[in-house]
Chain A
Amino acid sequence: MSHVVIFRATLRRELKLLARQKADWVNPLLFFIIILTLFPLGVGAKPNLLREIAPGVIWIAALLSVLLGAERQFRQDYRDGVLEQLVAARAPLLGYSLAKITAGWLGSGLPLILVSPLLILFLGLSTDALLAVVLTLLLGTPLLSLLSALGAALTLSADKGGILLALVILPLYIPLLIFASSAVEQASFGLGYQAQLAVLAAMLCVALALVPIAVQKALKLNVG
């Protein structure tokens, strides 16, 4: 039983489910946009202020919106007994986890990237800064998906899963937040930000190598 076969089958299945349950990708997207709306409403709409806080605000909104969708990632399969079956059959959960994470990114990360031009309007970002936003989202949202899948897998059978997931994962998000928002900030001053992008890429590589294994372990122990 190979990882590739199960990866493809799971990915196909998840894409079908994404197409059928539009709320799974529409809701986090709307949440993202609403948070971006809340900030000008909360801190005042002075263009200079908004431009200053924009980098952090965008990334916090992205964090929270991915976190919102995280809890549901494995829960349905856990409740239905699909995970139990996979663990009992010792199916290669690594392929399953990777497919779930990929589909999760397609549902919660990719829409954010596509919607980011809105940010020019909402937060008065320059086009340089927008490019930085897109690049950091491109590198950062897969990292968000990986970490949130880890949180979801760890808290799968916990009693109060949702908020516990956030508590567990938010500290791990902090380096990503720091470097991504710094990149956007530098870009808005017209400065280079290759260093930050390089660090983000490095974090993504490390996470890609280590997180799926941890997710697999976490799924097994929650079902066992």
Chain B
Amino acid sequence: MDKPLSLKSNRTLHITYNLPINRTSKFWVGLKEGKIYVTKCEKCGRIHFPPVADCGDCGSSNMKWVELDGEGEIETFTQVIVKPPSFSKEPSYIVAIARLKEGVKALAWLTGVKREDVRLGMKVKLVAKVTSDGRVAYEFVPLQQTKVKINDW
């Protein structure tokens, strides 16, 4: 069988996303200050992470900004080894979902812990960060527990 023929395009498509953030700018500014702000719907009480300006549950646009403490427990996680092209330069990373104290769940990278040490239910904290190239982001870090040893007697 002959080798299949193909025609290669001589034009490259670059895609850059420009997302409008006027109505949730407090979140983005807050991350730079090391704080995580979310929106709470005044009508139905639902907390949204990431924050939204319009409640998907009840349709209200009456939102209140709340600062998240960030503490939570891991519900599920996975390690990404085969990465999408734009992440190919990263080392293998862990993505986790944790249920936070405030009742809302968040999905973020879990850093500062080896894959084999991750446990369901482990306590983590969602923290704001600024990357080396100046982008704001957030991630889970393990919450240090002080262990109290109970002596046998």
> Are the chains A and B members of one assembly?
no
**Which B residues have a C-beta under 8 Å from some C-beta of A?**
none
**Which A residues have a C-beta under 8 Å from some C-beta of B?**
none
